[in-house]
Amino acid sequence: MNKFRALRVSQDESGAYVRRVIECGIDELPAGELLIRVHYSSLNYKDALSASGNRGVTRNYPHTPGIDAAGVVAESAVAEFAPGDEVIVTGYDLGMNTAGGFAEYIRVPAAWAIKRPQGLSLREAMLLGTAGLTAALCVDKLEKTGLDASAGPVLVTGATGGVGSIAVRLLARLGYQVAAATGKAEQADFLRSLGAGQIVERAALLEGVDKPLLKEQWAGAVDTVGGDVLFNVVKSLRYGASVACCGLTAGVNFKANVFPFILRGVNLLGVDSVELPLMVKASMWDRLSLQWKLDGLESLAREVGLDQLPGEIERILAGQQVGRVLVRLI
C-alpha cells in the first residue's frame, strides 16, 4: 500500500503541461483524516482545465486532478468513519489544489466525505459524479421556483455533455418535455434515447444576440455552456420562468440587458456543487439513490483506465465528449 498509481500533470522544460501516469508514495498525499482507496472517478470539464495548466482552477503543479472519487476508507482518524466504509467525495478542493481522484489513493478531510447511499453502488455514484449532482441541483432549484412537468418545454443546453446528458435523462424521468440543444447534430438519436422530445441546433440559440428580447419558448432551462447562449435563453424564457446556470464552456461573459427581468419577470439561477454544505450534498445524493434514481446510466458512459485519461482529456477540451467518462481504478 506504500505505492500507488496516479495521473500527474507537470510542466516540462519548455513550459508545456504534460500528463503522465506515475507511481507515487502514500506519504506524498496531503494531510487529512481519511485515506481512501479509490475505486472509481469520472472526467469533468474542470478536470480537463486543471490538467491543461489552468491556474484559475489549480494554482500549483505538479498536480493530480480529479474532482470526483468513490472508494473505500483504508484509514480513518475520526469516529464517524471506519476502515471498510464506502464513501463518495466530490467538490470542495479535491482535484483543484488537493491531489484528486485520478489516483488509486486520496487523503482528504472527513468533512468532505459522505457515506455511500444504500441505493447507489460506488460505480453508479461515479457514473453520476459531479455532473449528475450538478444536474440534480439544477432541476431541484428550478422546481423550487415553481417549475413542474405541466409547465411546458424545458431546454437543456450542451445536452451531449456530462451535466447536460444527465439533466436530459433526469427531466425526462420526471415527466418533463425536454428540448436538447447541441452542436453535435449526429448525436440526435443519442439525445432522443435519453428522453429528449425536441433537438435544437446550437446555432439557433445564437440568433438574435443583439435583440433585447426573443420569442417566449421555454418553461425553464438548464444551461451548461454560459456565454451569449445563456442570455439568449434568458431572453426566450416564458413569463416568470427560470434558467439554472452551471457552466461556462461557451464563455464567462454575455451581452445583457434588463428587459427580460423587468418585462417578463424571469429568473437567472446560479448553481454551484463545489462548496455546497455537506448536508445538502448528502441529501441530494440520497435523492439520486431513491426517488430520482436513473436507470440506464451505463448507456451514458464510457469506461477508461488511468492510461487512457490523457487522450480523454484532449477529447473533452476539443468539445468531443459525449455523455460521461467513468475512470476505473480497481
- Predicted confidence at residue 1, as pLDDT, reads 61
Q: How large is the angle between the packed helices 122-144 and 278-289, nearest 10 degrees?
A: 110
The domain limits of the chain are 3-116+296-328, 131-270
> Is residue 322 over pLDDT 70?
yes
- At 54, the pLDDT band (50, 70, 90 cuts) reads very high
Half-sphere exposure of 37 (CA within 13 A, CB side): 13
Q: Rounded mean pLDDT of 281-309?
A: 96
The DSSP bridge pattern shows strands 301-304 and 34-42 to be unpaired
Rounded to whole angstroms, the Cα distance separating 33 from 76 reads: 6
- Predicted confidence at residue 249, as pLDDT, reads 82
Amino acid 105 reads: Y
Using CB atoms within 10 Å of the CB of residue 186, give its burial: 0 to 12 exposed, 13 to 18 middle, 19+ buried.
exposed
> Is residue 83 over pLDDT 80?
yes
Q: Domain 3-116+296-328, what fold?
A: Quinone Oxidoreductase; Chain A, domain 1 (3.90.180)
Q: Domain 131-270, what fold?
A: Rossmann fold (3.40.50)
Tell me, yes or no, if the two domains 3-116+296-328 and 131-270 fold the same way.
Answer: no
- Predicted confidence at residue 252, as pLDDT, reads 87
pTM: 0.95
289-296 long-range CB contacts below 8 Å, 24 or more apart?
Answer: 289/117, 289/118, 289/119, 289/120, 290/117, 290/119, 292/136, 292/170, 292/173, 292/174, 293/119, 293/120, 294/128, 294/132, 294/166, 294/169, 294/170, 294/173, 296/169
Q: Rounded mean pLDDT of 120-133?
A: 98
Q: Whose grid coordinates read 516540462?
A: 12
- Predicted confidence at residue 222, as pLDDT, reads 98
Q: What is the mean pLDDT of the chain?
A: 96
